[in-house]
Amino acid sequence: MSTDTPIELCASAELSEGGLAVPFDVVYDGESCRAFAIRFEGRVHAYLNRCTHVAMELDWQPNRFFDDTGQWLLCASHGAVYAPDTGEGVAGPCQGGLVKIELIEADGTVRWQPTERLQPVVF
Ligand code: FES
């Protein structure tokens, strides 16, 4: 498969507004990483599951990234707050923004776009 062929991630219906994320695995700069996809204001977004404070996964409760308002992504470790649509750090001990992964939503399916730095896991 060509590295720039979008990779199927999930059905559109699996991503509800401000709801649980859909996790997936990627290789980022040669390192295996978890990633997650969410829906916010109708659009799908995905990021590496790696906080900018300490390189830890953000969710303690699996796939729960949104705060109670459904407006912000939270790191459960020390409370870094990220904007769901850009991944930009907006509060707490974050240092910069989350690594964004481009998604394509069409025909009821969400796919992610590999890049030179972001590759699919080869089993
Ligand atoms: S590891 Fe995320 S806020 Fe500290």
Strand-pairing partners, residue 109, are 11, 106
Query: Which residue puts its alpha carbon closest to atom 4 of ligand 1?
Result: 78
For residues 60 and 52, give the distance between their C-alpha atoms in angstroms, rounded to a whole number.
16
Question: From the first residue on, what is the mean pLDDT of each consecutive set of 10 residues in the chain (123 residues)?
Answer: 81 97 97 97 98 95 96 97 98 96 98 96 86
The residues lining ligand 1, judged by C-beta closer than 6 Å to any ligand atom, are 51, 53-54, 56, 75, 77-80, 92-93
Predicted pLDDT at 95: 93
Shortest-distance atom of ligand 1 to CA 92: 3
Locate 83 and state its tokens.
């904007």
Predicted pLDDT at 4: 78
Predicted pLDDT at 103: 98
**Domains of the chain with bracketed CATH:** 7-120 (2.102.10.10)
CA 8 remoteness from chain centre? 15
For residues 100 and 118, give the distance between their C-alpha atoms in angstroms, rounded to a whole number.
10
Predicted pLDDT at 7: 97
The phi and psi torsions of 12 (rounded to 5 degrees) equal -55, -40
Predicted pLDDT at 2: 47
